[in-house]
């Protein structure tokens, strides 16, 4: 059986995982496990399910090493798992046959790929922190813009009296207006100032 694994760091509204799924299908995946989790996170539900399900002789495929993990330590654990379970790993065009163990050159190449994936993640984090600090130095306000009274939707204003008179609780009020409770709290703060 050929199992595919796809991963994105953020949810489906911010990152599209479909490209990975299509590529995994082209690579021959019979079944695809996918999730939205950080590649540095050691405990990922779908990857854990896949690793429990895979059997000797099966194949685990991924479009690139950074989709499986961005941690060199976890990659080493996965390689050891593949050797123990006697499975084949396919990462993009790179096939790693762990059925009979790994030769030193292949193991070194895979681990170097993992080092670069982890380094890429760390460099991205450094660039983000540098950009945030640069914005602060320039006096640029970060985060969401503050709410203003004119931002309050008409629906929230229209139903305010029902809430104020105790006919609606905050949860029902938020649901009726189509906003989250947190957003409703912000509107209520503006309305009571």
Q: Which residues are catalytic?
A: 9
The contacts of residue 97 (CB under 8 Å, 6+ apart) are: 88
**Crossing angle of helices 181-191/170-177, nearest 10°?**
100
- Cα 129 from chain centroid (whole Å): 19
Instruction: Give which of 22, 19, 24 is closest to 5, Cα–Cα.
Output: 24
List, in sequence order, every beta strand (DSSP E) within the chain. 2-8, 31-36, 59-62, 88-91, 94-97
Show the tokens assigned to 38: 């950080």
35, 64 contact by CB (below 8 A)? no
Q: In which residue are the tokens 């489906």 written? A: 12
Q: What are phi and psi of 71, to 5 degrees?
A: -125, 120
d(CA 170, CA 164): 10
């Amino acid at each position: 059986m050929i199992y595919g694994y796809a991963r994105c760091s953020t949810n489906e509204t911010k990152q599209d995982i479909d490209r990975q799924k299509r590529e995994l299908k082209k690579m021959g995946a019979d079944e695809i496990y996918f999730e939205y989790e950080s590649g540095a996170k050691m405990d990922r539900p779908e990857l854990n399910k896949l690793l429990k399900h895979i059997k000797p002789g099966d194949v685990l495929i991924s479009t690139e090493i950074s989709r499986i993990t961005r941690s060199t330590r976890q990659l080493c654990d996965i390689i050891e798992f593949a050797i123990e379970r006697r499975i084949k790993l396919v990462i993009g065009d790179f096939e790693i046959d762990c059925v009979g163990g790994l030769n030193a050159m292949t193991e070194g190449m895979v681990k170097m790929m993992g080092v670069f994936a982890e380094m890429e993640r760390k460099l991205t984090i450094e660039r983000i922190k540098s950009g945030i600090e640069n914005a602060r130095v320039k006096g640029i306000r970060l985060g969401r813009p503050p709410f203003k009274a004119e931002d309050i939707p008409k629906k929230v204003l229209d139903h305010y009296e029902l809430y104020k008179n105790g006919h609606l609780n905050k949860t029902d009020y938020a649901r009726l207006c189509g906003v989250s409770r947190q957003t409703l709290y912000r509107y209520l703060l503006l309305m009571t100032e």
